[in-house]
Chain A
């Protein structure tokens, strides 16, 4: 069993990483500058083209407020809908249980698994869990593929390799594909990865992805993507498994569509290349109208819903707003700490809202404490957030709990004696 780290060890390790790999890394700062400029330019173009998107925010907030207030009821309804659609639905109480369920669905012996980008699978460390059981697991989103081959962790919610420059990417892809790639051609890099992964897709037994929203009434997953990797992962293998946090559930198909269009617009897209709606296994009724499962797509469809503290959090009036987050990543482009440290600001989830997710969901108060005290409480994320999530307010509230537990940084602990003379 792992030894519990002291708060000093946690701070020392965190500070060494956020300063060493983050703040002192000039390449990262440059990559972040480029990413921010691109984000703003793209968002401007998207909002100019679709000015009505500005109005999406209010309705999206209302949908989330309702959904989080009725979470347990919606979970039940979703599971019923999925089963009605001849899918399998599970509610995993924590990360360990979710991983175990998925490993059981995959079965023995060693299988090839192709994965789409999913923060929830990062939360449960699913890839590492399956690899430890001998499965060959491939991240197929380009950014996430780069994360996998360099043994790192995602640095942004939607752009996991946002910290990489093209020069670094070319070097990494050259190493893994054995091709000599120039940083001048991102197109060649993309083609090399496409060729490398094509084999994995066609031989994979299992496809895994997350989802951006689920409609409880129909049990439909909505998945936004641009690369087409999820299209393949959700179509070619025999089994498709989705691991999704329960907070992604909303009441209806219309609500789910509203949430995904808000997500992609504020994630700076005009429109994504693909929006998948998956409600069950592939099927056909073409012979005598007899529904038969396992046509061209997967024969099995499994939805693993992850609780991991979300249900309890949905009942906490001070912090339930954390669950409204759609993981669009917009706020990160405007965070002064993210600018210098990318996802090194955070543990499992990045940024200020990520610090809250780490504290309540992914890592616990103690491990998340340094990230909670990294936030500059500047409130800029709230104005960029399409849901107006008040991260700074919750950070301040959470600090009172952390301070009480002795998890504040030394400088903060000294304020009381040095400044307040108490």
Chain B
């Protein structure tokens, strides 16, 4: 199986090489042929979200050409924005469609774990899972991350609750708080306060040992928030880092 990892440069640009290494290591363990996009543009999806529309179409067109030239079976990313943009906005706005499926890493690993049923080592820790806003709230995809973590023995997964979710017939994750990572692209000096507040308000009271978002952008926000709030007893850990640790 040939897999293209989109968003590699974003991980490097944000200093999340540890996440990238865990993905590469896991793909190696799975024996897949992992390919990267040449001269990949950092955070190209931001072109739409920030309103930089004069270059957006060109960026997505280039992405399509480069990805399709690699002839993968699937495109995966730790980020949700690409998955979302290619699912709806890019086809709607520019009439562009990828000829291969583009899925989120949680979905990729949920499928692989289900298919391979590996025996994983235990991870006896409290792990706070944030469902990234785009993957969760906007695309309604929560289950894959939960399925992945459910394969790991002894992990205690903590999610944010919401008092009226059940009455309203909604998955509580639809109300997940946001570490405001997108402010890095607009008003970062303000974003620092929002991230710190997220950590103090949402993470600290739930006392996890580790915390991570399904989306690498949200994950970056959590990392930054923990740093700004100077919280040392909660460590940021992306799900692939856990999976890589427990995969025998």
Contact = CB atoms under 8 A, between A and B. Distances in A.
Most chain B beta-carbon neighbours within 10 Å: one of A23, A41, A402: A23
A421 B41 contact: yes
A339 B201 CA distance: 10
B101 to A, nearest CB: 24
B53 A44 contact: no
A401 B51 contact: yes
B190 A15 contact: yes
A51 B190 contact: no
A404 B56 CA distance: 13
A96 interface: no
A403 B51 contact: yes
B180 A411 contact: no
A398 B137 CA distance: 21
A379 B186 contact: no
B95 interface: no
Interface residues on B, range: 35 or more
A18 interface: yes
Most chain B beta-carbon neighbours within 10 Å: one of A336, A337, A377, A400: A336
Contacts of A271: none
Interface residues on A, range: 35 or more
A190 interface: no
B185 A339 contact: no
A142 B133 CA distance: 37
B119 interface: no
B194 A336 contact: yes
A355 to B, nearest CB: 12
Contact of B53 (A15, A18, A378, A404): A404
Interface in A18-59: 18-19, 23-24, 29, 33, 40-41, 43-44, 47-48, 51, 54
A422 to B, nearest CB: 5
Given A43-B164, A51-B167, A409-B186, A416 B52 contact: yes
Contacts of A337: 180, 190, 194
A148 to B, nearest CB: 28
A70 interface: no
B164 A420 contact: no
B30 interface: no
Contacts of B48: 396
B165 to A, nearest CB: 10
B interface majority secondary structure: helix
A213 interface: no
A415 B187 contact: no
Given A384-B175, A420-B44, A19 B53 contact: no
A376 B54 CA distance: 22
A376 B185 contact: no
B178 A380 contact: yes
Interface string B116-141: 00000000000000000110011000
A24 B53 contact: no
Given A19-B190, A336-B178, A415-B185, A408 B50 contact: yes
A334 interface: yes
Contacts of A376: 178, 180-183, 191, 194
Contact of A48 (B46, B167, B185): B167
A422 B55 CA distance: 8
Most chain A beta-carbon neighbours within 10 Å: one of B49, B164, B176: B164
Contacts of B174: 383
A202 interface: no
A402 B186 CA distance: 13
B188 A411 contact: yes
B25 interface: no
A15 B190 CA distance: 8
23 contacts: A15-B187, A23-B193, A24-B193, A43-B163, A44-B164, A54-B168, A336-B198, A337-B194, A374-B183, A376-B181, A376-B182, A376-B183, A379-B137, A383-B175, A384-B175, A396-B48, A398-B51, A400-B53, A401-B51, A409-B187, A411-B187, A415-B43, A419-B41
The 10 closest A-B pairs by CB, nearest first: A399-B51, A378-B178, A403-B51, A23-B193, A400-B51, A376-B180, A373-B186, A378-B133, A419-B42, A44-B163
